[in-house]
Structure formats: structure tokens, C-alpha cells
Amino acid sequence: MSLQDSQWWRDAVIYQVYPRSYADANGDGVGDIAGIRAQLGHLRDLGVDAIWMSPWYPSPMADAGYDVADFRDIDPAFGTLTEAEALIEEAHAAGIRMIVDIVPNHISSEHPWFKAALADEKAKERDYFWFRPGRGENGDEMPTDWRGEFGGTTWTRTGDGSWYLHLFTPEQPDLNWDHPDVRAEFESILRFWFDRGVDGIRIDSAALLLKDPQLPEVLEDNPHPFHDLDGVHEVYRAWRRVADSYGGNRALIGEVWMPEVERFANYLRPDELHAAFNFDFLGCAWDPRLMRECVDRTLDAHKAVGAPATWVLSNHDVTRHVTRYGREDTTFSFDNNLDGTPVDLELGTRRARAAALLSLSLPGATYIYQGEELGLWENENIPPEQFQDPMWGRRGHSRDGCRVPLPWTGDEAPFGFTTATPWLPQPAEWKDRTVQAQTGDPNSMLELYRSAIALRRTESFADFSWLELGRDVLAFCRGQDFACVVNMSGAPIALPANQSVLLASGPLDGDRLPPDTAVWLRMTS
């Protein structure tokens, strides 16, 4: 894909880099920009079109960098702004675009705005947040009983007796998006990064920005007081105008957790976001009927607003799909993180290989979370005392198992990630999952991804239509001569006649496709 493509986000392969865990160049056990630059060749060889960089800004790291103290700089643990600018240039030279993560719902309690708001009740910054008096005779009861996104309470009392709102941790005070200064500041932040050559913005918790100023409780029959309020769309219309002012090839990509398809599609109207993450697909069970319904819902919703679909199997917040697919319950919820459910990693890996071909051949863009291309599974054996995820303390579950540093070389941890002790431990069994061990092995997960992405670049994928091969088989065509077949049944199935195999996720049994295996076919008349 050329960097000149004006609508690159419509069918790009986008790779999420979690900077703490990609590669460590300075030997402190934490990944950094120098490590990313040193291992940029891995992403070039993989064939991805863009990198989505998880937050790399100055932060106290109360929530792994999603508590931002300064959106215009880089945390010293990762490097410098100069190094970030060099990475953007080097990625572009390799034909790879850059997407940065912006967190608009909240900032760090160490941000200058919040420190000023705490220091003086009359400070103008006080109005940038949700400071409210408490309930009860002495004001010692929280203003609402809202439940936090990580569980627990959503209000913290200050020294002057008032309370401030935080939908996440107390170190992440929510911003008041009704204030024009807040809106102007974030439009300026977008321009800051666009001016440095960034090609896209990933928007964290995109549906949470606005709150009902009356602070009603969350009741089943009433409009939600802070999730998906209609006014949020004007924020993104303004952001779209900023993005379009840079020539029309800058993309806005939303993290939109939305069960209602119609409400989800509203964010993708032509004057709002360019794309949004497909959590319906990410959380779908390994079941042909449910998966087909999910694909249909996705394509129908996006077609209605002319937006591209996205296909996501894992990210930094969810259990890695090798593990999920190896469980009896293959869906995702935060409640099945580290729940002790038995995992068949061989089965999970086989299904993950098939899912790779499935996601890379559906219409739209595909997102790869770092390590997915290596077939990494969730590290469910991290000692609790090493957990750094605030969800562990507030909800009793940890996301750290999917954030473990990548294995690059060697037979022992830290597998070339660092010369020190990595910030989270790596499973010893990952010695067979290193980049070095898999490179050149035609049966490896890495070479499967490399081959599939290369074929995706050369194939002329066209209109989507289902191919009926049985109720337990997910099969579809992309035009007249390309087909993808995923066998979700418990027995081998016959492949269609008049075809040749382009790529298979596992060994075939003659002209039969084994269970939990996918294949790309060239159809002939």
C-alpha cells in the first residue's frame, strides 16, 4: 500500500505496538522507542501498513500510560520527542504509517490543569473537571452512585470537601467536555501530532466524553448519564474538520464499545470518525452461526454509513485469543481473565491460525496486536504481587497477562527483549515462539501471517458473498475467483471442486479440510 493512498484506513493491516513490551534498547527492562526503531524491520518484513502506538506520553503510569500528564511530549521511560519524530520518519521510509493514541475522556491527576484545580477553588481550571459537592447533611456522600469502568466508586473527595469525578481510577480525573477550553486544547493536540507527520489518531473510550450535567443515576429505563450522549458527535465533527484540513488522508479511529449497532454506526457517519474497533467480532465465540451473524451485522452497519469494517482478535485490554479459543467458553469478558479455566493451547493455536486467515480476508481493515503474529498466549502465571494493572485492585482481574514483553531470540527469558529483568515475566515455553525460532519455518505462525499479508497485497479482493458449504462451515467469496473456508465443525470437510489452494492455516488431508482449519482458495471455472 502506497503512502499516497488517500483512504488507506479502509483496508490497511494495522499493528498495535504496546511500547513497554515491544523491545528494550537501554537495558532497564521496559520497552522504549529506541527498541521499536531497532526492531522496525520486523514490522516491515511482516508487511503491515501502519503502526498504532499505545500511549507513550509523560505519565505516572497509574493506568499504563492512559493517565496522561502531557500530550505534547514523550515519557522519559520511552525516550524523547526527538526520538518519536525520528521513528515516524523511519516508519514512513519503510512504507509504514503511524497512528498515535489520544485519551480525551480524562487526564492524569499530575497534569498541570488538575494540579491547578486542586490548588485553588477559584482557578479557571476547576471548570475543566467535574467538581461537585457531596450529598448528605455533611456532604460526605458521593454525588452519584455511578460504577466505575474498572469497578469501584467514581468520585474522590478533596481536601476542601468537594468531590471530583473519575470513571476510571482516582488518578484519572474526567474532563468537562462542555467547556470550550477543553475542546480547543484537544484540537490543538491533534494538530501538534499531525504537524509531526502522524497519519492517524486512535481515540480511547470515545463514547464516554460527555456527561449529563444533572448527574442522574444509571437507571434501566432512562437515558444513560455518561455513555454515548448525542452531543459527543459534535466533538468528533470538529475533530474531523481538523483531520480533513491536512489533505484528507489523516484518519480518526474510535474505541467505541457499543452493543447497539445503529448507535455504533453513528460514530462513522461521513463527517465523523473514519473507523472504529469491532468489539463484536473480538468477543464472538468460535461458533459458525454466531460468527456469521457477527460478520453480517458488521458489514450491514458499516455499509449503511459508507465506512470500512475493522476486524480485531486481540488487544492490550483482553485475553489473548490463543488462550480464549482454547477454552470451552471462547467468548471474551473481563470476568474470564485469569479465571483458572483449563486451556487447550494446541486447540487455541489451531483456531488462532484459522482466525488469522479469516480476519485478513474479510472486507475492511485488520488489526494485529503485537505478539499475535507469534502465536503468543496469555501468561496466566504472573505472581499477583507483580501485577501493575489497576483493574486487579479495583475489579479483581488483571490485563497484564496479555501485556508480557515479546520474545525475540534465544532459548531462555528474556528472549532478547532486554538485557535486564523484563517488567513482566515471560513463559519459558515461549522459546519456540520467538521471532528467531519462527523465521523461515513454513509451519510457524509468523510465516503464516507474513504469507497471508503478502497475498492480501496481491489479491484483488472484490465483493463479499457467502459460500454455502454446510452449517458448521464459515465460507465466503471475495469476487469470482477467491474464497476463504473455515471449518468450525468437528470433522474434516470436502473442499469445493474446481479450486487450487493459495494458503492453508494447517496441513490438509488431501482435498479435505480438517477441523478448526482455514484455507484460501483460487476458484476456477
Quick check: 169 and 222 in contact, CB under 8 A?
Answer: no
What is the pLDDT at residue 2? 67
* Helix H or strand E encompassing 312: strand 310-312
List Cβ neighbours of 163 (8 Å cut-off, separation of 6 or more).
131, 132, 133, 134, 142, 143, 155, 156, 157
Give the C-alpha separation, 400 to 52, whole Å: 19
Adjacent-strand bridge partners of 50:
14, 97
Task: Identify the bridge partners of residue 132 per DSSP, sorted by sequence position.
Answer: 163
Distances (CA, A) of 220 to 82, 145, 224, 225: 49, 14, 8, 11
Amino acid 397: pLDDT: 82
Length of the chain: 525
- C-alpha pair distances (Å), 415 with each of 42, 411, 421: 15, 7, 11
**Cα–Cα distance, 486 to 256 (Å, whole number):** 28
Backbone angles phi, psi at 128, to 5 degrees: -80, -5
Catalytic residue selected from 24, 101, 125, 255: 255
10-residue averages of pLDDT along the chain (525 residues)? 81 98 98 98 98 98 97 98 98 98 98 98 97 95 94 94 97 98 98 98 98 94 93 98 95 92 94 96 96 96 96 96 94 63 94 98 98 97 91 81 97 98 97 98 98 93 94 95 96 93 96 97 89
> Which pLDDT value is given to residue 337?
57
Phi/psi for 253 (5° steps) reads -125, 120
Rounded alpha-carbon distances, angstroms, from residue 350 to 38, 76, 78, 480: 31, 40, 35, 28
Residues 6+ apart with CB under 8 A from 195: none
Alpha helices by DSSP H, 20-173: 33-38, 40-46, 81-93, 112-119
Query: For position 334, what pLDDT does the model report?
Result: 59
- In the residue annotation, 204 being an active-site residue is answered as yes
Is position 385 annotated as part of the catalytic site?
Answer: no
Instruction: Give the count of beta carbons closer than 10 Å to the beta carbon of residue 428.
Output: 10
> Which among 127, 204, 287, 472 is annotated as catalytic?
204
C-alpha to C-alpha distance for 478 and 481, rounded to whole angstroms: 7
What is the maximum alpha-carbon separation in the chain? Answer: 81
Please answer whether residues 250 and 243 qualify as being in contact, where contact means their C-beta atoms are separated by less than 8 angstroms.
Answer: yes
- Provide the sign of the torsion angle of the four alpha carbons 381, 385, 386, 392, taken in this order: positive
Cis peptide before 414 (omega within 30 of 0): yes
